[in-house]
A and B are shown apart, each in its own frame.
Chain A
Amino acid sequence: MPDKFRDMPVTFVKHRGLFSYSSLINGLRNWFRDYDYEFHEPKHQWKVPAEGVEVEIKMKANRKVNEYVKYHIEIFLRTYDMKDVEVVKDGQKMKMQDGKVLVEIGGKLELDWQNRFGGNKFLQGLQDFLHQFIIKQDIGDHWEDDLLYKLMDLSRFIRATLGQEAV
């Protein structure tokens, strides 16, 4: 049975300290828009316990690379003990947040998103042959690596937005 989805390794970004929540969320949305991803947020949860605000956001984005390949990126963002603070930066007062952030970045490569090879065993076998011998290099060395670099780029962008040292 040919595999339709290839999972990419998941990256975790954890931050504890000062950050700008609005810059992070808007930055992520703009990043997806700039790279032509269809983007939506299936989950956006906001809780206000005594210790600080807890936010849970799930973001899903996909992009049709060609008529056979589609990239999927999934982000799970969670903040803990988030409190508003006022900070003086370069002589200007700014409103930022202090707390903990956890961002989980994952992705997968979808092959045959139009389901052209679905239906019968012969077509599935043909697709298997295609994946194993004809476009094996394209899948493994081109599209998978391309998606991996995009996920790394996104991880670097999130770390830079959070103001981390190791970017």
Chain B
Amino acid sequence: MPERRLVVDKERITYEGLFSVKEVMDIILSWLSDKGYLPIDKHHKESIKPEGKFIEFESWPYKKVTDYAKNIIVIRLIGSELKDVAIDVDGKKKKLNQGKLQIVFDAYLETDYEARWETKPVFYVIRLMFEKYVYTPFLSGFERNLKNDVTHLKSQIKGYLNLFQYYKKS
């Protein structure tokens, strides 16, 4: 069983107003592709309720940093009370959503993901000693990079959502 360290714990983006769910998803997917993360979708859920559309999306993209360590980011996107609206952008009608959006980020650093150092108890002890006394600076570096990745993704999404304060519904 690989070891997982929690690096980012429940960092959220909460937004209410105009946005496009599809464009938010596109931003996340293109960011993952640019950074070399493999997107693993866990579930997509959409339902129509009297107050509006409800969307829930969970993804666990990962990136193998080395043959020993792997970055995992958990992204949960929850859209609620969503209604379709049309706005005028440069004289053209653009279809957007009006409602609430919450995106929750968790990130883990997984070590020994191939489970090579768990086949025997003595290997497990060697691995513990190695991680504690030899490999600590490298693991700290991986954790720092992972935190920076999550911060960068959050800033990309926040930047996109901030654009809509200048839009008006038609």
A residues apposed to B, CB below 8 Å: 9, 11-18, 100, 145, 148, 152, 155, 159, 162, 164-167
Q: Please give me the residue from chain B that is nearest to A10 by CB atom.
A: B42
Check B48–A155 contact: CB distance below 8 A: no
Are A12 and B44 CB-contacts (below 8 A) given A165-B82, A166-B55, A166-B77? Answer: yes
Given contacts A16-B48, A165-B55, A166-B77, contact A11 B22 (CB under 8 A): no
In the complex, the answer to whether B41 meets A155 with C-beta atoms within 8 Å is yes
A-B contact pairs, 18 of them (CB 8 A): A9-B42, A12-B45, A14-B45, A14-B47, A15-B45, A17-B46, A17-B48, A18-B48, A152-B39, A152-B41, A159-B44, A164-B46, A165-B79, A166-B21, A166-B25, A166-B46, A166-B77, A166-B79
Are B57 and A166 closer than 8 Å at their CB atoms? yes
Across the interface, do B38 and A145 meet the contact criterion of CB distance under 8 Å? yes
On whether A11 and B42 interact (CB within 8 A), knowing A16-B48, A165-B97, the answer reads yes
* A-contact 0/1 string along B22-35, CB 8 Å cutoff: 10010000000000
Residue of A nearest to B60 (CB): A9
Q: Are A155 and B44 in contact (CB under 8 A)?
A: yes
Query: What secondary structure prevails in chain B residues at the interface with A?
Result: strand
Taking Cβ atoms with an 8 Å cutoff, the residues of B that contact A are 21-22, 25, 38-48, 53, 55, 57, 60, 77, 79, 82, 97
- Apart from A17-B48, A166-B25, A166-B57, 8 more pairs, CB < 8 Å: A9-B40, A11-B43, A11-B44, A17-B46, A148-B40, A155-B41, A165-B79, A165-B82
Q: How far is the CA of A14 from the CA of B42 in the complex (A)?
A: 11
A152 to B48, CA, bound (A): 24
B55 touches A14 (CB 8 A): no
**A140 CB to nearest chain B CB (Å):** 8
In-complex Cβ contact of B44 among A9, A17, A100, A164 (8 A): A164
Question: Do A13 and B43 have beta carbons less than 8 Å apart?
Answer: yes
Query: A1 vs B82: C-alpha distance in the bound complex, in angstroms?
Result: 52
Asked if A16 and B46 make an inter-chain contact with CB atoms under 8 angstroms apart, the answer reads: yes
Residue of A nearest to B55 (CB): A166
Q: Please state if B22 and A167 are interface contacts (CB–CB under 8 Å).
A: yes
In the bound complex, residues from chain A placing their C-beta under 8 Å from that of B77 are 166
Q: How far is the CB of A165 from chain B (nearest CB, A)?
A: 5
Verify B46–A15 contact, CB threshold 8 A: yes
**Complex-state Cα separation, A45 to B38, whole angstroms:** 35
Cα–Cα distance between A24 and B45 once the two chains are bound (Å): 16
Residue pair B44, A13 in contact (C-beta under 8 Å)? yes
Q: Are A12 and B21 in contact (CB under 8 A)?
A: no
Task: Kindly state the separation between the CA atoms of A148 and B32 in the bound complex, as whole angstroms.
Answer: 15
- Measured between beta carbons, the chain A residues less than 8 angstroms from B46 are 14-17, 162, 164-166
Contact flag A17-B47 (CB < 8 Å), given A166-B77, A167-B22: yes
Residue of B nearest to A101 (CB): B46
